[in-house]
Amino acid sequence: MDLKLSEEQKLLQDMVRDFAANEVSPKAEHIDRTGEYPKEIIAKASELGLMGVEVPTEWDGAGMDAVCYAIAIEELSVASAAVGVIVSAHNSLCVSPIAKFGTEAQKEKYLKPLAAGKMLGCLGLTEPSAGSDAAAVKTKAELKGDKWILNGTKLFITNGKEAGVSLVIARTEPDQTHRGLSAFIVPCDAKGFSLGKQEEKMGIHGSSTMELIFEDCEIPADHLLGQRGKGFNVAMYTLDGGRIGIASQAVGIARAALEASVNFAKERVQFGKPIATFQAIQWMVANMATEIDAARLLVHRAAWMKKEGMPYSPESAMAKLYAAEVAQRAVVDAVQIHGGYGYVKDYPVERYYRDAKITSIYEGTSEIQRIVIANNIFKDTLKGK
């Protein structure tokens, strides 16, 4: 693994950093306060190729690698964690599995507009009684003639409100557990599809979190993604890549907290000196900087392994677990460094504090990441148990 960014990765970083600083950052507070979906920002992100980062150019993507993807999500999330997750959920949770498992016809119809940013995508996996236990999905899909009929409810779906297409994991074999699941491409204008409750959240305002309802929802038979009964594998493939995105989001939030803290510490004067001269403040900043670098290295390792075509499931779980914890420590310290100013909305660290928490919950909680990591370490011991 080369620790130096390639020319392409560096160019991408500079481009997204400029975009984030000039066009996302100035609107981040507004997005957070109003919860408005940042339509213009996503349109511009599409022009920059950020809605199909890893998709080959023949399918209208940017044809870049997984490290580029991690870099892009980090840079966007420094400016706005909401924008970071909208782009990440789209790329990781919908575009990537269609690129991997889709037929030529599915790619023509869905991957092209998704990768070009003409359509937003989401993933419907979670249900009221299937969260960490993804194999417990109850949404049913039955093949009737030339149509699949879906019935059930999905919960907490990022981008659900704006999406044109949803990747849905549903049960096709009622008598099986994870082998009974299949993946489907569901256009959001399909008959029998509707949106339910929109969640009001602690943070990442501007990113919609929706209930998706399927009532005799009809989709064509050829909208099965991958093989029947292999939906759990599609979901796990999807989440492995997704965790690189969320880990990058966490690194971005932590970096924003660090940068705000450094600036504040240089300016804030107490006892006749900038608070940056106090060792208590310096140590918090030193810890933040060290942990952020370590988290980014874990993220880039997982992304590099993905780029090289190596198995990277435990590595992406490690990256997400660690980066989420680093982000949470960083925002706590950032608020502390800001004192009272950290607790009020005049400074952005209050937003970072609220945004950071979700990184340890979605796309697998920190407990689930530890299970993935430990299962790999103890794989021989656990075989057949």
Ligand X SMILES: Cc1cc2nc3c(=O)[nH]c(=O)nc-3n(C[C@H](O)[C@H](O)[C@H](O)COP(=O)(O)OP(=O)(O)OC[C@H]3O[C@@H](n4cnc5c(N)ncnc54)[C@H](O)[C@@H]3O)c2cc1C
Cα within 13 Å of Cα(275), Cβ side: 19
Q: Which residues pair with 144 in a beta bridge?
A: 147
Residue 237 touching ligand X (CB under 6 A): no
* For ligand X, the closer CB: 141 or 265: 141
Which of 35, 56, 131, 229: binder of ligand X (CB under 6 A)?
131
φ, ψ for residue 182 (rounded to 5)?
-135, 160
Residue 209 touching ligand X (CB under 6 A): yes
For the chain, the distance separating the N- and C-terminal CA atoms, rounded to the nearest angstrom, is: 35
Residue 261 touching ligand X (CB under 6 A): no
d(CA 363, CA 384): 26
Q: Which residues pair with 122 in a beta bridge?
A: 166
Q: Find the catalytic residue in 259, 308, 363, 367.
A: 363
Please choose, from the candidates 29, 48, 49, the residue with its C-alpha nearest in 3D space to the C-alpha of residue 95: 49
Residue 217 touching ligand X (CB under 6 A): no
Q: Which stretch binds ligand X (CB under 6 A): 104-112, 256-264, 281-289, 354-362?
A: 354-362
- Shortest Cβ distance from residue 6 to ligand X (Å)? 31
Residue 361 touching ligand X (CB under 6 A): yes
- Give the x/- contact pattern for ligand X in 87-126, rule: CB under 6 A: --x---x----------------------------xxxxx
- Shortest Cβ distance from residue 132 to ligand X (Å)? 3
3-class DSSP state of 42: helix
Residue 178 touching ligand X (CB under 6 A): no
Residue nearest to ligand X (CB): 131
Q: Which stretch binds ligand X (CB under 6 A): 59-67, 141-149, 156-164, 375-383?
A: 156-164
Which of 18, 40, 346, 367: binder of ligand X (CB under 6 A)?
367
Q: Which residues contact 152 (CB under 8 A, 6 or more apart)?
A: 127, 137, 138, 139, 140, 170, 214
Token duo for residue 146: 């030339």
Helices 366-377 + 313-338 axis angle, to 10: 140
3-class DSSP state of 259: helix
Is 363 marked active-site?
Answer: yes
Residues in contact with ligand X by the rule CB under 6 A: 89, 93, 122-126, 131-132, 156-158, 201, 209, 358, 361-365, 367-368
Catalytic residues: 363
